[in-house]
Chain A
Amino acid sequence: MARMKFLCDAERCIECNACVTACKNENEVPWGVNRRRVVTINDGKPGERTISVACMHCSDAPCKAVCPVDCFYQTDQGVVLHNKDLCIGCGYCFYACPFGAPQYPQAGNFGTRGKMDKCTFCSGGPEEDMSEAEFKKYGRNRLAEGKLPLCAEMCSTKALLAGDADKVSDIYRERVVARGFGSGAWGWGTAYQTKNGQERDQLRERKQGQ
């Protein structure tokens, strides 16, 4: 089974924000929520780089680890999803997430954040695939339709890659070899590796095998 991952190539991103717009439109994201955002570092200076960030669907997801009502689950493709019927809007996943992925439709005073919303890797939620209820709560289930996340699909420079981790890293490796340098697969260490650099998925598989 494929392990889905995102990869943003900082050498290619041109800060066009099309991924943000595509995501908002495809998933009809709640007002004020950006499931994906584009951040520029060293703006206007030499060495300026831009990165598109969303939920990275971590192997050992911090949001899942701290949720008081255990509303997160990871699909067999490694996508981290959550159940909005269970979410109480406590904000803990937002505290824990390194990438600032979990967001809330309301300001949050008096704890009234509403249900948390985040990137679903365009694969909906616990409701029946491609149902009206699923679309209303989580957005489009493109994976069930046999498609990949729209943000990466319509990235004009193909800076943003989404899909099977092996294929994504092969593409990136080819690029690095061809151009002679790479900025590293941004965020991969945090999202998919343990502190000593081991792949968390492999560890998990090994544990399951035991």
Chain B
Amino acid sequence: MTRRLPLCMMALALVGGLTIAAPALAAPSDAPPVPTQIEGVNRGDVWQAVRTGQTVGVVSIPDKKAAVLIQSEGEAWRALRNGPLSQYGSWVLGGIFAVLALFFLLRGRIRIDGAKTGKTIQRFNAFERAAHWLTAGSFVVLAVSGLNLLYGRFTLLPLLGPQPFATLTHYGKLAHNFLGFAFILGLLLIFLLWVRHNIPERHDLVWFLKAGGLFSKGVHPPARKFNGGQKVIFWSTVVGGGMLAFTGVQLIFPFSFATLAELQLFQLGHAAIAIVMIAIIVAHIYIGSVGMEGAFAAMGDGQVELQWAREHHSLWVEEVTGEKPGHHHSHGTPAE
């Protein structure tokens, strides 16, 4: 008997408890709100912290990146890519073509001033040319496929239609991803082959002060194997190309080295640097082809006209052949 007493009491207490709880269940609107808030913590602040990335959640799936509820950086990335990057990029690209067209109209093709000798000297050997064309060829494909990603939707897509454009862009992406490595190899070779010729020196200052003779006929500041302008091309290719290689490798192996926020920055940097590089290389292609008589041969068969070399690389000719500069053509008579 003594054992059963507590049980009875418990049963009574239970029934009592239920009767007390029943009115609360019947009229939930009268009950005070359940206190789920924490003292001193503002609900707005909690969600603000989630919005700004200060609070990262947990997930039960293996991909822990999924724990980020909301990444606001994406909106900034979109705004920059679709806004200033595209807009200023198109100005830079349009600008370089406008400048070159204007330059061609005013200056025309830069001719060899003196009489041609008919003799040639070797400027770049086969290996140097191969390294150049490896870099150049891959760069052109990379540039075109890259520009297509940024501008193709507004230019080629309306012309080609959705499916052909998507197929083309898909192959462009594949080419971009794999030729990137050819570009990096070419860049390395170029650096190793030519860095010793591209150390800045006193002659370059004179070259820049005379603007390399670009704007005045018959002006040919002395230069060794690479003049000041070519050194600018070399270093912008090495530094710009190096940055493109670095950001490109990061982007091609997503999350191997970088977080999402870093990948977004790398993508913006990659595109911005690439646009500047394309502008520089377009100018380089211009002066190496239509812009200057005799220049293409240096990277064509590697043999340049001796008179061309005397005018544009007088000190280099002196080094190679031993002849003194300035004996074979006049720089314009001072009495004029």
Interface residues of A (CB under 8 A from B): 11, 17, 20, 34, 37-43, 46-47, 49, 51, 53, 62, 65-71, 83, 85-91, 95-100, 108-111, 178-181, 183-184, 186-187, 190
Chain A residues whose CB sits within 8 angstroms of the CB of B148 once the complex forms: 68
Contact with A along B69-100 (1 / 0, CB 8 A): 11110110110011000000000000000000
Of B55, B59, B74, B152, which is within 8 A of A42 by CB? B55
Residues in A neighbouring B82, C-beta threshold 8 A: 65-66
List the B side residues contacting A181 at CB < 8 Å.
Answer: 33, 36-37, 43
Partner of B81, one of A66, A83, A108: A66
Known: A98-B70, A98-B71, A180-B33. A40 touches B169 (CB 8 A): no
Minimum CB distance partner of B28 in chain A: A178
- Contact between chains at A95 and B263 (CB < 8 Å): yes
B71 touches A41 (CB 8 A): no
The docked-state distance in angstroms from the alpha carbon of A91 to that of B263 is 11
* A49-B46, A69-B169, A186-B47 given; A90·B58 CB < 8 A: no
Nearest-neighbor residue (CB-CB) of B36 within chain A: A11
Tell whether B34 is near chain A: CB-to-CB under 8 Å. yes
Looking at the complex, which one of B41, B149, B173 makes contact with A47 (CB distance below 8 Å)? Answer: B41
The answer to whether B333 has its CB under 8 Å from any CB of chain A is: no
- Chain A binder among B159-167, B196-204, B213-221, B229-237: B159-167
Does the CB pair A43–B78 fall under 8 Å? Answer: no
Q: Are A95 and B267 touching (Cβ within 8 A)?
A: yes
**Which residues of B line the A interface, CB within 8 A?**
28-29, 33-34, 36-38, 41, 43, 46-47, 50-51, 55-61, 63, 65-72, 74-75, 77-78, 81-82, 148-150, 152-153, 157, 162-163, 165-166, 169-170, 173-174, 176-178, 252-256, 260, 263-264, 267
Would you call B29 and A40 a contact (CB within 8 A)?
no
CA gap between A72 and B74 in the complex, in Å: 17
Partner of A183, one of B47, B75, B77, B256: B47
Does the CB pair A43–B169 fall under 8 Å? no
CB–CB A179/B252 < 8 A? no
> Which of the listed residues B56, B67, B255 has the most CB atoms from chain A within 10 Å of its own CB?
B67
Given A40-B57, A47-B38, A70-B153 in contact, is the A100-B71 Cβ separation under 8 Å? yes
Q: Complex Cα distance A100/B74, Å? A: 9
